[in-house]
Amino acid sequence: MMKLGGVLVASMLIGACGNQPAAPPAATPAIPAPQPYSTLAQMMRGIPFPASNIIFDTQSEDPGAEKKPTESTRGATATFASVYGGWQAVENNALAIAETANLLMIPGRMCENGRPVPLDREDFRTFAAGLADAGKAAYKAAQSKNLDAMVEVSGTVSDACAACHEVYRDKDDVKHRCIP
């Protein structure tokens, strides 16, 4: 009888512990609002400029060809090239070009001269959409692993960049860049 009483008390204690209210769920982290962390020039130099050069490089270099190690292949670029290198690097950089269109449209970004990026201008929005389209075309070409397709799409990427640069960047006077 003593054993039965001890089992009963133990089961009551376990049951009582199991009936405790659950701890409140952890707070869901807030989703950060899109905001610029750089000027337009800094963002362009950091993301689409190097990404487009990977695309342009496929005009003369086969990303799928095996590379011979040399003395100049040191540092982070060489060390991590085998992780996401070759055609996958070309695909990733094509997507970075497409994603740049989203970054261009984040309100509050400033031009290098301190003026706001002209998000209100239809031509600027059209140029950003053209950049997204060029990045998507480059991604499709990279997936094909076809060097002729990459040569063709390199022109598409170059044209998308040039369309915006002619109006907003290629000005002799830096203070007039970004806003015509």
Q: Which two tokens stand for residue 18?
A: 């199991």
Which residues lie closer than 8 Å to 96 by C-beta, 6 or more apart?
47, 48, 51, 135
Dihedral (CA of 54, 156, 158, 113) sign: negative
Mean pLDDT of 137-150: 97
Q: For residue 153, what are the CA distances in angstroms to 5, 44, 110, 160, 170?
A: 81, 20, 30, 11, 23
Q: pTM for the whole thing?
A: 0.76
Is pLDDT at 53 greater than 90 in this prediction?
A: yes
40 secondary structure, DSSP code = H
pLDDT in tens, 77-132: 555 566 778 999 999 999 999 999 999 999 999 998 899 999 999 999 999 999 99
Averaged confidence pLDDT in the chain: 84
**Taking 90 as the threshold, does the pLDDT of residue 70 lie above it?**
no
- All domains of the chain, ordered by start, with CATH? 34-64+75-176 (1.20.120)
